[in-house]
Amino acid sequence: MEYLDLRKVGLMNTFSSIKRQKIIWGTILVAPTLIYVLIMNVWPMIQTIYFSFNSIRGLGIPRWIGLANYQRALTDTELLQSIWNTFLYTLVTVPIGTALSLITAVFLNANIRFKSGFRLLFFIPVVSAPAAVAMVWRWLYNSEFGLFNYLLSIFGIDGPNWIGDNNFVLISIMIVGIWSTLGYNMIILLGGLQDIPHIYYEAAEMDGSGPIRKFFHITIPMLSPTLFFVITTSFLGALQIFDLIFMMVDKTNPALKSAESIVYLFYRQTFESNNKGYGAAIAVILLILIFIGTAIQMRLQKKWVHYK
């Protein structure tokens, strides 16, 4: 018995040693990524929250002012306008972009000719340089010699000033935003479609189900986890829209206020006005909005996302 007990203790010590080695090696392997996240994500977030309670001009020393930046934000009409612009942009681009990406993915998942070529064609905007994309769309939108107004003039229609009119500038940005994310979302949804077992469709055909019935009763439920991922990432990207506005709408454009997003206002306050304290407060407000929106999505996904 004593021999068996010693043997048991030895096995336990061996298992403990192996477990300890796994923990050590796991920590060593994860450490570079963890350090990177702490330095590049966590620390800037903490620093931004701290700066939002300070007044900082340029490279000056932070001066504690408490909630003054947030009190200013409550009455800042420019901030309220940027929040409204960002809300409208998100409300339009996320559902329309997701729907178009889903339709495109279903189309390219079917047995059609030149399927690979079509996939490449739709994915090109994703890998294109944002500056090049902006320049091309600025030419298309040009009110004097742009392609869109030229096509409208053929039918005797006087085209609008797409990015210079308060009524059209945000819509124009929305169109480019949907177009630029279509390929990425399509690839994600296409991967989800290819993971759906064909046996479900074969069984539905035996029961006499048509394409529409199969789409809503098989494709959508089975694809719901992938759809949730696409909607969530599109939502986060839409709330942080900046590059398209920055490169397509000039600073002297009178319609800029109608397209200005929260991130664009943050950029202006932080780097143009050198008011880093108020810029940090805007960033914290955006963080709160993202947190609230993500929490609502996580709550609602339990009602329509099926993981089994």
Query: What does DSSP say about strands 54-55 and 63-64: parallel, antiparallel, or unpaired?
Result: antiparallel
Judged by DSSP in three states, 292 sits in helix
Q: Write down the pLDDT at residue 13.
A: 63
Q: Write down the pLDDT at residue 4.
A: 46
CA distances to 67, 237, 238 from 265, rounded to whole Å, are 19, 16, 15
Contacts of 122 (CB under 8 A, 6+ apart): 104, 108, 182, 183, 186
What's the token pair of residue 107?
Answer: 């189309």
**Considering Cα of 55, then 56, then 60, then 64, what sign does the dihedral take?**
positive
Listed residue (146, 131, 141) closest to 172, CA to CA: 141
Q: Write down the pLDDT at residue 137.
A: 92
What's the token pair of residue 196?
Answer: 């759906």
**What's the helix, strand, coil split of the chain in %, to 5?**
75, 0, 20
Q: Does an H or E element contain 54, and which?
A: strand 54-55
Ranges under pLDDT 50 in the chain: 1-4, 6
- ∠ CA(81), CA(83), CA(84), 5° rounding? 65
Contacts of 140 (CB under 8 A, 6+ apart): 146, 147, 148
Q: Write down the pLDDT at residue 21.
A: 81
Residue 81 phi, psi (nearest 5): -65, -40
